[in-house]
Amino acid sequence: MTALAPSPTLSETTRTTPGAGWLLRLHRPALYLWIGAVAVLAVVLLWLGGPLTDSAATAWREYDKSCDTGGSCRYDQDSIVRYKDVYAYTTAALTALPFVVAAWAGAALFGRELEHGTAQLAWTQNLSPTRWLTTKLIVPAVLVTAGTGLLVALHRVMWTAGDGRIDTADAWYANLTLHANGPTTVAFALTGLAGGALAGVLLRRTLPALTLALACVAALRFLADQLMPHLWPAVTQVTSLADGYRGSGLNVDSGLVTATGAHIADPGCGSTIVAGCKTVYADLDATGFYTTYHPESHYWPLQLTTTALVLAVAAALAVTAFVLLKRSTAAPARVRTEAAA
């Protein structure tokens, strides 16, 4: 295996190409790893959405035909298990990408260079701090958006191929699938990049910057999950006590409806088929159940509103990084100017 050529020294690269070329050469191993990871995941997703989905769907048809009718229950169980396993691994890998981007941005892209003085050396030549940070954000942002966007598109194609054909396939509102199928994953990855920039500029140490960048993505992911159901008007369906709950989708709220139309908490008794539940509901003056949820038709409104919110946070993190960098470099520059005078 041929060894990689050593990266040009900082002085050489900043004198010649203080832009995208300099950044790509300086972080060449990370670029190769990113391209390789995207390529591998893309191939696996294509395999999953094609042959694996077809074989699993065939196995489910065999199961429904023989087992449900009291037959000998002969079907290809291995195909079903294989599809489920590969789906789980690829979806988890796509979910982890924003955290990988955050860790790399906080540790290698910003924290390490500021800790070791590489960035400060570049600023003494023909690369200003603002241009340094701009280049380090724009070039990776393009690569992260392109790679993550491609994988999200392939994941959605793969999921659509199995929707309605594979009985154990994840519903559209399952948490990991919900984000892996849409642009929120791309927005989380860009937040990881911006969070890494802010963490590096703020802390100027590798491991603390890595930790803070990961915490930014984790916190934003948690908040996005909590806010997403409330970013678009939901649908409320009311059913009788005998029918129980109805409505399938991203759940927002559920409970009992009283005779006055008020919504109250469900004591968890069940439908009126369960012995004693009629008395429980009579004491509560309950007349039915309500379910507030988002049907599948709300998928894109939910995705787009959440993506816009996450991108706004990413932009705020990036702007804060620029402000902090400008403040931290302005004072030393002023001191040097006064000393020279």
pLDDT of residue 19: 60
pLDDT digits (tens, 9 = 90+) for 243-302: 888 888 999 999 999 999 899 998 888 777 777 888 888 889 999 999 999 999 999 999
Q: pLDDT tens digits for 50-74?
A: 999 999 998 888 887 777 665 567 7
Decide if pLDDT at 341 tops 80. Answer: no
Report pLDDT for 70: 59
- Identify the CA nearest to 127 among candidates 16, 202, 6: 16
pLDDT above 70 as % of the chain: 89
Q: Between 286 and 14, whose confidence is greater?
A: 286
Cα 248 to Cα 153, 237, 273, distances in angstroms = 24, 10, 22
CA–CA distance, 266 with 281 (Å, rounded to integer): 9
Contact call for residues 211 and 334 (beta carbons, < 8 A): no
- Give tens-digit pLDDT for 173-188: 999 999 999 999 999 9
Q: What is the pTM of this model?
A: 0.86
Which phi and psi (to 5°) does residue 255 adopt? 165, -155
